[in-house]
Structure 1
Amino acid sequence: MKFNRQVAIPLVYKGAVLDTAYRLDILEENLVVVEIKSVERLERIHVAQLLSYLKLSDMWLGLLLNFNVPLMKNGIKRLVNG
């Protein structure tokens, strides 16, 4: 499986381009955006961040991974853009 990490997403606002406005933690096979966290619990702001990344990158599937959990399956949240 191919992946890229720290993928820059440009932001265009009123004709101005910010080349590295946002960075994806991991882009898997140019299909899945993976956002990595290590927090007490996932908050709505983390979900909003991943949804913004999905919209800006024109991707439809994202995974939010929180490594600060006793059981990893409890730290995975799947999000779909659309």
Structure 2
Amino acid sequence: MQIENDLATEIIGSAITVHKILGPGLLESAYKECLFYELISKGLYVEKERPLPLIYKDIRMDCGYRLDLLVENKIIVEIKAVEVLNDIHLAQVLTYLKVSGCKLGLLMNFNVLKIKDGVRRVIHTP
């Protein structure tokens, strides 16, 4: 989990940079693009909008999910630009973690005055 913790520190630092430059009030897509840019600029392997299949009763369904960002195949980053994070946002990240096999997710709301108030670490332990 140390690798994930180190990566999370890098991701949060990059989110702080994005938030300092852009501030609150933009669309989620703007923050996603800028955070993606910051992370790949650091040499990290990042997938944007990575498909995550839905498996139902051992059958792969055509519908599925798209992860906002997957960093180093270890951390799921779900980006929001909402008034307030609520339980459904947390449930979404937990579901993504469970389905993907990842242990750590970062739920980030950029629609806050201080980004540290908009970051939640989400841990899945099977």
What corresponds to 1:59 in structure 2?
102
Structure (1 or 2) with the larger CA radius of gyration: 2
- 1:42 counterpart = 2:114: no
Q: CA deviation at 1:14?
A: 2.5
| Aligned pairs, number | 82
Question: 1:37 & 1:63 partners in 2: Cα distance?
Answer: 11
Give the structure-2-normalised TM-score. 0.62
Give the structure-1-normalised TM-score. 0.94
Alignment root-mean-square deviation, CA: 1.1
Segments of structure 2 that go 5 or more residues without pairing to the other structure are 1-43
Richer in strand (by share): 1
* Aligned structure 1 segments of 4 or more residues deviating by more than 3 angstroms: none
Richer in helix (by share): 2
What is the SS of the residue equivalent to 1:56?
Answer: helix
Question: 2:54 & 2:70 partners in 1: Cα distance?
Answer: 17
- 1:79 counterpart = 2:111: no
What corresponds to 1:6 in structure 2?
49
Segments of structure 1 that go 5 or more residues without pairing to the other structure are none
